[in-house]
Amino acid sequence: MRFRSAAREDVSLILAFIKELADYEHMLDQVVADEATLEEWLFDRRTAEVIFVLDDEGKEVGFALFFHNFSTFLGRAGVYLEDLYVRPEHRGKGYGRGLIVELARIARERGCGRLEWWCLDWNEPSIAFYRSLGAEPMDDWTVYRITGDTLDALAAEGQASGAD
């Protein structure tokens, strides 16, 4: 199995994969990313990375978008997998497992302490796949998020108070 890191000229392909994943997750209406934004954050600011998995003809059939997080308890970085997607016609051929194995290899090569991700509760096929890899759900944790107007209001409070 072959992999390659995304390059700037892959931005349209990355966006296509993101939209396909969002459609699968019934969240396509939530995708506001565009090519310019992805190019800025992935290649100018370098805040995340993308790898592709290639089929026998060298065509990209899946992708993983990931970035480093940090565990204070471990005292080292981890790899956080934001998106993993394999096109439906290529599922069941080991490409998803290959992407996870490659991410594990990258994490160990970089000295990271863990590889983690979220999965939608209804996504039973993915849950079964992740469990087959030995992944364990973190049942003791709840994800919290602040976005949009709430994020703007909190940021404005910080600006008004002069907080650093």
**CATH number for the domain harbouring residue 14:** 3.40.630.30
Pairing of strands 60-71, 76-86: antiparallel
- Nearest-5° Cα angle at 72, 66 to 78: 20
Q: Is the dihedral of CA 124, 99, 4, 90 positive or negative?
A: negative
Q: Supply the range of the domain harboring residue 145.
A: 2-161
Neighbours of 29 (CB within 10 A): 8
**130 part of the active site:** yes
pLDDT of residue 159: 77
Question: DSSP class of residue 93?
Answer: S
In the set 80, 85, 95, 130, the catalytic residue is 130
CA distance 114 to 109: 12
pLDDT of residue 46: 98
Instruction: List, in sequence order, every beta strand (DSSP E) within the chain.
Output: 2-5, 49-54, 60-71, 76-86, 115-117
Tokens describing residue 163: 């907080």
Mean pLDDT of each 10-residue bin along the chain, 164 residues long: 97 98 97 98 98 98 98 97 98 97 98 96 94 93 91 88 60
Q: How many domains does the chain have?
A: 1
Can you give the pTM of this predicted structure?
Answer: 0.91
pLDDT of residue 161: 65
